[in-house]
Chains A and B, each alone.
Chain A
Amino acid sequence: MSGVEEKDRHEKGPASSAEQILKPEWQRLEALFLSALDLEPGERTALLDRECGGDPGLRSEIQAMLEAHEGSELLLEGRLLAVEEAVSLVGKRLGPYRLVSLVGRGGMGEVYLGERDDEMYQRQVAVKLVQHGPRPSLLRRFSRERDILARLIHPHVATLYDGGVTEDGRPYLVMEYVDGVPITQYCDDRALGLRARIDLFLTVCEAVQFAHGALVVHRDLKPSNILVDVTGSVKLLDFGIAKLLEEEDDDPQHTSFLDRALTPEHAAPEQIRGEEPTTATDVYGLGVLLCELLVGERPLRFPTRSPAEIDRIAREVEALPPSRLLAAMDASARAGCAARRSTTEDRLARSLRGDLDAICRKALRKEADERYGSVAELVADIQAHLQSRPVRAVRGSRTYYARKLLRRHRTAISLSVVAFVVLGAFLVTALVQARRIEVERDRAQRQLERADLVLEKLVGLFESTQSPLGPGPDLMDVERFLRRGQETADALGDEPQAQARMYQVLADIFAVRGDLDRAVDLTARARDLSEDPIDRLRRSHQHARLRARRDGPQVGRPLLEASLQAQREALGPVHPDVVQAMLDLSNTMQDVEERRSLLMEASRQCDSMGPSQGMLRAAVLSARGAVEIESSRFDEAVALLGEADRILAPLPVTRSERISVRQNLSSAYARQGRWDLAEPMQREMVESRRQLNGEDSDLTARALESWAVTLANQGRHRESGEAFSLVLAIFERTLDPGHWRIANTARNVGQLLALQGRYEEALPHLERSLEINRGRRDGTDRRTYQRGQRAMIWLGLGQVERARNELAEVAAKLSDSEQGFSPSYAADGQIWLGIAELRAGRVSEARSCFRRALEIRSTLLQGDHPKLAEARLGLAVSEISPPGMDFQADLELYRAWGLSHPLMLELLHTHRP
């Protein structure tokens, strides 16, 4: 670590510290600087001119130092580091007290930590000193505080011991030094629950009430003035701006808001307006404090410090009650809040709603006379809440009172008993109503939890760290967070539902991060803890899905089938969970037909569920679209995926669901030959992936690849080449040098060069690609195709025979059904060979090649695909035009195509139909 001086053992080494051997440059610098300091500016310049004649560096350094000496204090000097004035008093004595250190700066002056220094006893005190050169009003205020404190002798008010005046006429107070922390922090540190916090709050109220009894209004009630010491005792501090109610205010400035340096968050509206405070002002302050204790947030926020804004907000904006504050937090804040209160989020929310909300509301009313009339009333209401008695603040309602009744007599109440106890059938209905409302609310609550803002936010967060190469939050933090999360979850043994939910969320995160083992384990645990059968089913399904992911479709499929079955039985066929299960099952199916039929059924169920299940419908449509792409039915694919895209349109473009749909859609467009539709989508995809997954992510590379291919098809060879080069760079950075994808990409780069007729440049890339694939076991297939591409380059370079022989072999291999090549490749091989034969002057051989190519391509492609045109044109050039062919149209189509081979174009150029 920097700055550690390990050798600094003895401070009192005589010779070594007194005389130092310093480098001459430094000595010079010091001497010059110190001399310059003593001089007038004019003389300084002269000195520097004289001494720094030949050394501009030295001069500027000294000048900078002089400036630094005069002004430019570091930020830190005001706050963290020792400050001149403070130090001057430290070490001084005031009466029997010695000032040990400066503890704080208040609005009026300084507060020191003092020590009573005689043999009798030791005691720490706080010595409050008025600032230098106090204004008369300050002095008045100071003596007022003294008077006030002298009246207030209470176990929860910091005691005044003594007072006096220093030698230079500064008054001071000696008070009890409270070694404690602000009440909010005290509660957070110990993760005190609501009840304990409320108890502490009541103590504070007691102190304030006492002060009111002595006709003192505190006016500055905030956590930093309410400390709790190690013994758990609350102490109220800083009656510095407190006011004696009975006195006349002879200092008009005293009431100005700015003068008092209040924090507006804690100030009552009338204080902000500058009006006379009353006990109701303190009630407001207590309301704010209560909110802070309950949810850790203040009810009213002031984003700027401009007086106009502060004024407006204080007048117009409604303070939010605790449950609303809680709801407005983001998920992690909420979780932290609940954790610091040793409870769960929903328990917390439930506890806050109703009485506590109402109490806070009443304390925080804008109009002073609408609040509690006194602290005693506030206390009374809180106690009523604690004892489950009706709280005054809540507007009475039948259900309210009835519920209270129920709660008070919680043990073994059945409806009939209640009916017996309660008067009148009417009331019975109300009770039943109340119960129903409660049940509804709980269910809605649960759904909210499940759908989950928490999950979404967290999963979204972790999605960007999917690739270990991607950016995103510091992995260390994530690890720690997860570990803590798990620890918290493990500790929730006595709250199985909360524990289960926590496990669930953690499992989802692990799943996204790819840590499937932990995800599987945690979902199993969550499932086993589930009491609610629906939850259990769902988690069971989740478990099955993860197993499928981790252990493969062999393992996953039977599990998912079982899960689907169970869900169907429990929920009926038309239920979102069932559809989801079908989707998941379909992912494990190898057979396309099987998949299609399952997904069709899923689609039907979706349709009968109506428009509410948008996301699910989109997912099903997307899966169906993917199936159609696989079956080469691109028109159907485009229709399905287009629909899915429309459904997802309101979502931001970076959502992964949206991205995968658009990716599939753009490939479908590409396969249809509609490059102009595909290209912008794919370009957007690249950007999204970059943002979401990072520059070096595999997904980004793939997006770039798709885009590059489309660009190539559009004839934008240069751009395409650039895109492929980017892909290559990514792979080179992230993969092993022998990776097949590097081979592929190199090939693509080469291919694009070849398409531009840049054969010489193209060749090395193809060679590289072939080289890599030579070393690979599974490289043979790829090699064949690449050999073909290389041979075409030879052809371009004029090596006709060599190319022709090679291509004959390649085409044969590609057409060999045993080899399992895609028919599209076979067709390509035939085209190449055809071109080579034509160049070699062997027209009839060429003809059969093109004929074969046309046959194959006709089964694969539809309509006006340039590849079909290519085959037809080939035939035409080999002197047999296929029937019904429109040469000109095909020619134009082909010429417009990006992937048209320059050699073929040459041939066409010289051909006359």
Chain B
Amino acid sequence: MAEPHDLTRWLDALQAGDPAALDEIVRVLYDELRTLARSRLRAERAEHTLSATALVNEAYLKLAAHDRIGAASRTQFMAVAANTMRRILVDYARTRKRHKRGGGETPIPLEEVEPFLSEDEADEILALDEAIARLAERNPRAAKVVERRFYAGLSLEEIAQLLDISVRTVRRDWVVARAWLRKEVAGELEP
């Protein structure tokens, strides 16, 4: 668990370009998000809309509990969290697929298979992950936009702030990227 004051320090360091800071944040975030996700996932499926956004926000709140972090740092934090969230989901999806391959029935329920992901969702997560990577090769900025929006739920304004561009540009990127990714994923998963 994060020390109360470290977070601000890391975020500052991150802003200053310190490579270690990123690693630190990701590490802590990863654990935190995972824990949160697990507790969420066990909840009744029909009731709780599990949202990556919600998780990331909650993680932020937890970690920032005793600290006063300005709005700017918060969005920065979220940007990092977005990527982490993406990784976690890919992890889960892979685990899910691995267990499905074992003949359909999971004979050993001791492992924490996250049943909240349906097989289709797992496929989509992986396909989406790869598609975003491909998008990044074509339009790196748009890929960033889409990652922060999908996985951390940042608003267009917040993203504009982060990337130091206009809201209109962000919206453009978002619309293009979303359409392209949807198309790619659908194409990927076509039987």
Show the binding face of A for B, using Cβ within 8 Å: 1-6, 8-14, 17-18, 20, 22-23, 26, 30, 33-34, 37, 61, 64-69, 72-76, 79-83, 86-87, 90-91, 100-106, 113, 115, 122, 124, 181-182, 185, 222-224, 261, 263, 332-333, 336, 457, 461, 473-474, 477-478, 480-481, 484
Q: Is the interface of B mostly helix, strand, loop or mixed?
A: helix
Does B61 lie within 8 Å of A474, measured CB to CB? Answer: no
Residue on A with the closest CB to B72?
Answer: A12
Residue on B with the closest CB to A9?
Answer: B17
Does A22 lie within 8 Å of B14, measured CB to CB? Answer: no
Q: Is B5 an interface residue (CB 8 A)?
A: no
Across-interface contacts of B39 in A (CB, < 8 A): 181, 185
Given the known inter-chain contacts A101-B54, A461-B107, please indicate yes or no for A81 contacting B19, CB distance below 8 A. no
Shortest distance from the beta carbon of A70 to any chain B beta carbon, whole Å:
9
State in angstroms the CA–CA spacing of A79 and B175 once bound together: 19
Given the known inter-chain contacts A17-B141, A74-B124, A86-B51, please indicate yes or no for A477 contacting B111, CB distance below 8 A. yes
Of A61, A263, A480, which one neighbours B46 at CB under 8 angstroms? A263
Does B139 lie within 8 Å of A26, measured CB to CB? Answer: yes
Across-interface contacts of A64 in B (CB, < 8 A): 183, 186-187
Those 7 A-B pairs whose CB atoms lie nearest each other, nearest first: A101-B57, A68-B182, A82-B153, A224-B44, A69-B179, A65-B179, A81-B150
Given the known inter-chain contacts A20-B139, A80-B121, A81-B150, please indicate yes or no for A65 contacting B180, CB distance below 8 A. yes
State in angstroms the CA–CA spacing of A461 and B158 once bound together: 53
Additional 17 contacts, C-beta under 8 A, given A30-B172, A75-B121: A2-B130, A11-B164, A18-B169, A30-B176, A61-B183, A79-B49, A79-B51, A82-B153, A90-B153, A101-B54, A102-B49, A103-B54, A185-B42, A224-B47, A332-B107, A332-B109, A477-B111
Q: Which of B43, B83, B108, B125 has the most CB of A within 10 A?
A: B108
State in angstroms the CA–CA spacing of A103 and B152 once bound together: 13
State in angstroms the CA–CA spacing of A76 and B128 once bound together: 10
Residue on A with the closest CB to B47?
Answer: A224
Show the binding face of B for A, using Cβ within 8 Å: 14-15, 17-19, 22, 39, 42-44, 46-54, 56-58, 60-61, 65, 76, 79, 83, 86-87, 89-90, 98, 101-103, 107-111, 118, 120-121, 124-125, 128-130, 132-133, 136, 138-141, 144, 147, 149-153, 155, 158, 162-165, 169, 172, 175-176, 178-183, 185-187
Across-interface contacts of A105 in B (CB, < 8 A): 49
Does A10 lie within 8 Å of B17, measured CB to CB? Answer: yes
Given the known inter-chain contacts A9-B19, A18-B164, A81-B52, please indicate yes or no for A182 contacting B175, CB distance below 8 A. no
Of A106, A122, A185, A263, which one neighbours B43 at CB under 8 angstroms? A185
Does B138 lie within 8 Å of A87, measured CB to CB? Answer: no
Shortest distance from the beta carbon of A852 to any chain B beta carbon, whole Å:
57
Does B90 lie within 8 Å of A473, measured CB to CB? Answer: no
Shortest distance from the beta carbon of A21 to any chain B beta carbon, whole Å:
10
Across-interface contacts of B61 in A (CB, < 8 A): 100, 113, 115, 124
Of A61, A87, A101, which one neighbours B58 at CB under 8 angstroms? A101
Of A5, A23, A67, A332, which one neighbours B83 at CB under 8 angstroms? A5
Given the known inter-chain contacts A73-B182, A124-B61, A263-B46, please indicate yes or no for A22 contacting B151, CB distance below 8 A. no
Across-interface contacts of A332 in B (CB, < 8 A): 107-110
Across-interface contacts of B138 in A (CB, < 8 A): 22-23, 26
State in angstroms the CA–CA spacing of A618 and B84 once bound together: 60
State in angstroms the CA–CA spacing of A68 and B178 once bound together: 8
Shortest distance from the beta carbon of A277 to any chain B beta carbon, whole Å:
20
Of A68, A102, A185, which one neighbours B179 at CB under 8 angstroms? A68
Across-interface contacts of A81 in B (CB, < 8 A): 51-53, 150-151
Of B83, B108, B149, which one neighbours A481 at CB under 8 angstroms? B108
User: 28 pairs across A/B with beta carbons < 8 Å?
Assistant: A3-B133, A9-B14, A11-B76, A17-B165, A18-B163, A30-B139, A66-B179, A68-B180, A80-B52, A80-B121, A82-B153, A86-B153, A90-B53, A90-B57, A101-B53, A101-B57, A102-B49, A102-B51, A103-B58, A122-B65, A124-B61, A181-B43, A332-B108, A336-B109, A473-B107, A473-B108, A477-B111, A481-B111
Residue on A with the closest CB to B169?
Answer: A18
Does B51 lie within 8 Å of A75, measured CB to CB? Answer: no
Shortest distance from the beta carbon of A487 to any chain B beta carbon, whole Å:
11
State in angstroms the CA–CA spacing of A64 and B187 once bound together: 9
Of B15, B86, B183, B187, which one neighbours A3 at CB under 8 angstroms? B86
Shortest distance from the beta carbon of B165 to any chain A beta carbon, whole Å:
5
Does B19 lie within 8 Å of A17, measured CB to CB? Answer: no
Across-interface contacts of A181 in B (CB, < 8 A): 39, 42-43
State in angstroms the CA–CA spacing of A64 and B53 once bound together: 28
Does B108 lie within 8 Å of A477, measured CB to CB? Answer: yes
Of B52, B102, B175, which one neighbours A34 at CB under 8 angstroms? B175
